[in-house]
Amino acid sequence: MRRKLIVALAAVGLAVAVAGTAAAVEAVKVPSQTWSFGGLFGTFDRGALLRGLQVYRGVCQGCHSLKLVAFRNLQEIGLTEDQVKKIAAEYEVTDGPNDQGEMFKRKGNPSDRFVPPFPNEKAARAANNGAYPPDLSVMVKARDGGADYLYALMTGYREPPAGMQVPEGMQYNAYFPGHQIAMPSPLVEDGVEYADKTRATVAQMARDVTTFLAWAAEPELEARKRMGVKVLLFILVLTGMLYAVKRKIWSDVH
């Protein structure tokens, strides 16, 4: 009986080991980066957030919506109320119906959300060779690898390997699943002129806009981690005290 058990356990162990090696072949490994918002005490790099906003507004928003983020939220990343109002006013919002029953256009308010570049999915596909640029609001939470993946994707455009045919209108990307992506390489050297005079290399822009999108996906991250440290410390002390009380109460049992 015991021998059979040992054999069975060995078989299970072997199976686990074999599976581990097989799983690694399947997915493309995304290089991991160090992010300001990683770790237990991470916070978003404010400079990167503002630069990332510039990259989103200068590059991404031509095709990608950010419909869950409101202009007022930008105050959280360090813009003043007036700056937010100014940015919001640069967008045209469809509102209505008015008293005449007609829809009308007006300037954006801080309470509005980022205005999508296309009125609907059909319009977006029509303008993009049939491809649909996804909304970026929760993108960092919505892809395996998160921020690392986004950065790798934006910096992962290469010449296709010899023998691989990439169809018309598609690009080769080292990190996109299947390696064929409809989005053309979005970032070019000096594609935006940073307000803080940082040199806009492709890597710099990719880092900045990824940081910005990480904030867009998890605007609560800083508050969450700050509260988490306090909560865990509190529970730790409480648990220690409960242990002492338990010892005292149980001292007469054993």
65 part of the interface to other proteins, by CB under 8 A: no
Contact yes or no for 186/219 (Cβ under 8 A): no
Among 10, 12, 164, 188, binds other proteins (CB under 8 A): 12
> Would you count residue 146 as binding other proteins (CB under 8 A)?
yes
Work out which of 28, 47, 58, 68 binds other proteins, going by CB under 8 A. Answer: 68
By CB under 8 A, tell whether 40 contacts other proteins.
yes
The 8 Å CB, 24+ separation contacts for 12-16 are none
Nearest to 56 by CA among 69, 68, 66, 71: 66
Quick check: helix, strand or coil at residue 213?
Answer: helix
Specify the residue, 9 or 188, whose C-beta has the smaller distance to other proteins: 9
Backbone angles phi, psi at 248, to 5 degrees: -65, -50
Q: According to CB under 8 A, which one of 61, 73, 83, 198 is a site residue for other proteins?
A: 73
What the block records as the tokens of 51 is: 């630069």
25 binds other proteins (CB under 8 A): no
Q: How far is the CB of 192 from other proteins (least distance, A)?
A: 26
- Strand-pairing partners, residue 157, are 173
Q: Which residues pair with 168 in a beta bridge?
A: none
Which residue lies nearer to other proteins by CB, 26 or 102?
26
195: how many CB neighbours lie within 10 A of its CB?
10
Centre a 10 Å sphere on the Cβ of residue 214 and count the other Cβ atoms it contains: 26
CB of 201 to other proteins, least distance (A): 28
Q: Is 60 exposed, middle or buried (0-12, 13-18, 19+ CB in 10 A)?
A: buried
DSSP type of residue 70: B
- Cβ-based nearer residue to other proteins, 103 or 249: 249
Q: Of the two residues 125 and 202, which places its CB atom closer to other proteins in the complex?
A: 125
Residue 17 binds other proteins, judged by CB under 8 A = no
Which residue in this structure is represented by tokens 């710099």?
A: 204
Amino acid 23 reads A
Which residues within the stretch 175-234 sit at the binding site for other proteins (CB under 8 A)? 177, 217, 219-220, 223-225, 227-229, 231-232
Q: What residues between 74 and 133 interact with other proteins by CB under 8 A?
A: none
Query: Which residues of the shown chain bind other proteins in the complex (CB under 8 A)?
Result: 1-2, 5, 8-9, 12, 15-16, 18-19, 22-23, 40, 68, 73, 134, 137-138, 141-144, 146, 177, 217, 219-220, 223-225, 227-229, 231-232, 235-236, 238-239, 242-243, 245-246, 249-250, 253-254
